[in-house]
Amino acid sequence: MYNHTDLFGYHAAWSAGGPTATPAQIDSMKSVAGGIMIGTGLHDRLGNIAENSQRNAAALRAAGVELDEYNVPGVHTWHVWRPLLDHYLRTLTFRATTTGLDVATSPAGGSHHTKVTATATVGAVSTSTSAPAGRVDFYAGDTRLGSAPVHHGVARLRRTVHGELNAPVVARYQGDTLFNDSQSDPVDAR
């Protein structure tokens, strides 16, 4: 789970207590593009797996690793692993997206307004026959600039704002029935 994280887009560890991760392993886990899931049977006492699994998940979250923890009643059997697999396939695998953002600004004539063109690109982390659909919301700080639909992986917002942008712009893809939400890095177009 901790090593060779660059080989896979998604990681899952079920009923795996194991040792705690080193700082180098934690850093590599932060770059897993698709997602990480940790789960166990809550009554799995084989080598203290339930306790150690929950401890390791908490330590990874505290270190800044984004993960999905899903635990179910049960011990070290298929009656535990089947619902973990079901959760993993329905909520995490092949659903992750990335959102990129480009922002261009220009003065709106002789006024104190600014023309903003924000273009978000939304893509699936894994190869898929489907493409992300839905909407992207655009924000300058806490101020909502508007939203635009995703067409062929692109959402474009053209808007004139009063004054200048007061904060970096962020694009937030809302997700759809097949793909999870994602957010771009802030773009400072001031």
Contact 136, 121 (CB under 8 A): no
Task: Inform me whether the pLDDT recorded for 80 exceeds 90.
Answer: yes
Percentage of the residues of the chain whose pLDDT score is greater than 70: 99
Q: Quick one: pLDDT at residue 8?
A: 79
190 pLDDT band (50/70/90 cuts)?
confident
Tell me the per-residue pLDDT of 87-97, one tens digit each, with 9 for 90 and over: 998 888 888 89
Task: Inform me whether the pLDDT recorded for 70 exceeds 90.
Answer: yes
**Mean pLDDT of the region 140-144:** 94
E strands of the chain, at which residues?
Answer: 10-14, 35-39, 68-69, 97-107, 113-124, 135-140, 143-149, 154-162, 169-173, 182-183
Give me the residue label for tokens 């917002």: 157
Q: Which helix (H) or strand (E) holds 50?
A: helix 49-62
Task: Say which DSSP state 2 is in.
Answer: -
Task: Say which DSSP state 89 is in.
Answer: H
What domains lie within the chain, and their CATH numbers?
Answer: 5-91 (3.40.50.1820), 97-183 (2.60.40)
Contact 80, 41 (CB under 8 A): yes
3 pLDDT band (50/70/90 cuts)?
confident
